[in-house]
Amino acid sequence: MLEAVDTLIDDFDLIDFLHQLCGRCNELLDVSAVGIMLADPNGGLQLIAASNEHTRLLELFAVQADEGPCVETQRSGTARLNIALESPEQTVDFPRFAEQARAAGFVTTHALPMRLRQQNVGALNLFDARAKTLSESDARVAQALADVATIAILQQRSLVHSNIERAQLRAALSSRIVIEQAKGILAERWRTTPDQAFEALRRHARANRTSLTMLCRGLIDNTLDTSAIQRP
């Protein structure tokens, strides 16, 4: 939570902040993967961050199919915890998503709202490859992390101007496209996985105190010397 507050002091990089949140959820809650979706101005969901490539593809499927616990949680503002993906009774509202999640190796999922008062910002989705329930205390930690992220996002939006919600989401989506392109280029160049390429880019951006998005733009534009990036 202190890291979330510190993020507001310097230039706010929404993508890096939410990927950091994914990492902290992995560590603190002992889950296999994390995904974060934010609502767009039209009320739909857009994938913004995921802890690995399998989860990114699964969350993209949820957006395209318009089904899944994260979609329902964003709309209702209510958490859905301890969903057994192999249970037809618990996945009756999102059978296609459950099938894709099982194919990705997940057994259990949880969805928590990113909400402040009546404003639903998005949803935090937790996945586990084990049949493990989320304890009451862990559920409180997860919701607290989602809440502090929501406050950070809304506070940053309000600091700029009243239309920042649309502008920031467009910028975040544009940044996501740039980052996906850059990690794909680097993964191909190094013959490694997209996840390893992305972590290398993040480490380099943090070590050099530069924006992750700007670093990726430099890689795409061939203005970045990739030999300076530490390979996995």
89 inside domain: yes
Q: Are residues 80 and 188 in the same domain?
A: no
CATH number at residue 210: 1.10.10.10
167 inside domain: no
For residue 80, the model assigns a pLDDT of 94
98 neighbors 69 (Cβ within 8 angstroms): no
Question: In angstroms, rounded to a whole number, what is the distance separating the alpha carbons of residues 134 and 178?
Answer: 35
Q: Are residues 30 and 136 in the same domain?
A: yes
166 inside domain: no
75 neighbors 96 (Cβ within 8 angstroms): no
Question: In angstroms, rounded to a whole number, what is the distance separating the alpha carbons of residues 48 and 15?
Answer: 7
Question: Which of 109, 128, 160 is where one domain is finished?
Answer: 160
Q: Are residues 156 and 194 in the same domain?
A: no
For residue 232, the model assigns a pLDDT of 82
pLDDT (tens place) for every residue of the chain, 232 residues total:
777 666 665 567 778 888 888 999 999 999 999 999 988 877 788 888 999 998 999 999 998 899 999 999 988 999 999 999 999 999 999 999 999 999 999 999 999 999 888 788 899 999 999 998 999 999 999 999 999 888 877 876 666 555 556 777 777 888 889 999 999 999 999 999 999 999 999 999 999 988 999 999 999 998 988 888 998 8
Q: Are residues 118 and 18 in the same domain?
A: yes
Q: Are residues 185 and 93 in the same domain?
A: no
Q: Are residues 17 and 72 in the same domain?
A: yes
Q: Are residues 128 and 186 in the same domain?
A: no
Q: Are residues 64 and 145 in the same domain?
A: yes
For residue 55, the model assigns a pLDDT of 92
Question: Which of 160, 182, 205 is where one domain is finished?
Answer: 160
For residue 15, the model assigns a pLDDT of 83
Helix (H) or strand (E) holding 186: helix 164-190
Q: Are residues 185 and 144 in the same domain?
A: no
Dihedral over Cα of 102, 106, 110, 114: its sign: negative
CATH number at residue 133: 3.30.450.40
Q: Give the structural domain span for 55.
A: 2-160
Distance set, CA 71 to CA 9, 67, 94, 173 (Å): 31, 6, 10, 18
Domains in the chain, number: 2
Dihedral over Cα of 28, 88, 113, 103: its sign: positive
Q: Are residues 23 and 128 in the same domain?
A: yes
For residue 148, the model assigns a pLDDT of 86
**Backbone phi, then psi, for 134, in 5-degree steps?**
-90, 120
Q: Are residues 116 and 6 in the same domain?
A: yes
